Amino acid sequence: MSVYLDHAATTPLRESALEAWTRAQRDLAATPGNPAALHFGGRRARRMLDDAREQVALALGADIHEVIFTSGATESDALGVMAAARGMRGRDGGRSLIVVSGLEHDAVAHQREVASRECFDWEVLPVDAGGVSVLPAVSGDEAPAAWDGRLALGSMTLVSSEIGTIQPVANFAALVHASGGLAHSDAAQAIPTLDVSFLELGLDLMSVGGHKVGAPAGTGVLLARRGIPMVTDRPGGGHERSIRSGTPDVAGACALAAALTEVVSESAAFATRAADLRAHLLSRLPDGVSATVGESASSSAIIHLSLPTARPEAVLMAFDMAGIAVSAGSACHAGVTRPSDIVMAMGRSEEQALGVLRVSLGHETTCDDIDAFLAALPMAIHAGAALDGITHVRNERNEER
């Protein structure tokens, strides 16, 4: 038996999405057509795409004309951050500052390299010990002095994909607007457990990834308020408001719309059930293991744990051998383990930033899954501690030499 507790990375395809995708593909096979074509096949494909766009808008509290289909949250983030920043600089040449939270997914954080090449300034907001972004202190509706007249765009994730903390996006958007800039948020991790409304958050742009909500990988949405200036690096045939060119994936859009509709309708009930599962897990942790952040300010579906080991690769391997899928907060690439930048931004040491584990829940997660994780946890910690000991001995020998 296998246990899947890595839903923040990707969650299984929902039956509703599979059915919508299959139905759309069959319709397109029977009556083929490009949505841009004027003949009967094209008009049918366009109706299917428009229906999907309307469902997505309804699910996310947006207008149908604000929905831009993309290949996923990564592309949506790249478009949302850089296309809007370029547009703002083109409208007002003095706006060359981009401000982001210190908790952003790489899809946003790595836009810093693009921004630097294009001569934008880049500012990262600090993170407090509880994993929440610290906003500039201002009085009333004033704009932060350092941003006023310079800010092109601000981006803040709604829920941290790594530690699960909920961020003050609405307050951040208000500060960004007071400074004359545009506000973007990556909401990919928020939708399963929070009531997410594009309009009520006061955003100009918002990114969503399909495979985080049970739609096929390779599907996503960028919500972009009409009238905002955007200069895209994806020119072409003028698709999706000329912001994201390329023949649309009609079946993928239908699947995404179905999954989003279902997830949003279940979010309140799932948030409650996930909170119960989370409480069950946290109440049975062994000595030396604790939650990295408090429950009140985080998504109930993401549980970030601090472990008494600095060898996450050994911990993950032990869980994998036990048939349990979880992830480390630190990134392991080609055998090189890096401490979590986000945990270090919270003021933790490098060793503490290595000893972390993320458990993320989905709508199919059961109490038995949590019990299986808890049963395997001591063995996984022991595996990490054993490797810690070997490394310590090697370091001592090297020092003696």
User: What are the catalytic residues?
Assistant: 332
Q: CA-based angle 122:132:305, to the nearest 5? A: 115
Report the b/e string of 318-327 with b at 16+ CB within 10 A: bbeebebbbb
Give the 3-state secondary structure of residue 88.
Answer: helix
In angstroms, what is the C-alpha Rg of the chain?
22
Residue type, 127: V
3-state secondary structure 235-264: CCCCHHHHHCCCCCCHHHHHHHHHHHHHHH
Secondary structure (DSSP) of 297-311: TB-TTEEEEE-S-S-
Residue type, 180: G
What number of other Cβ atoms are within 10 A of residue 390's Cβ? 11
Residue type, 5: L
The set of residues, in sequence order, having a beta carbon less than 8 Å from that of 275 and lying 6+ positions away, is: 295, 300
Please give the distance of CA 42 from its chain centroid, rounded to a whole number: 34
Query: Do residues 3 and 373 make contact, with C-beta atoms less than 8 angstroms apart?
Result: yes
Distance in angstroms (rounded) separating the CA atoms of residues 100 and 155: 5
Phi, psi of 67 (to 5 degrees): -90, 120
Q: Which two tokens stand for residue 354?
A: 């290595």
H or E, element range at 97: strand 97-100
Which single residue is written with the structure tokens 């919508």? 20
The set of residues, in sequence order, having a beta carbon less than 8 Å from that of 65 and lying 6+ positions away, is: 226, 241
Which single residue is written with the structure tokens 């293991």? 289
Q: Which two tokens stand for residue 246?
A: 């390329």
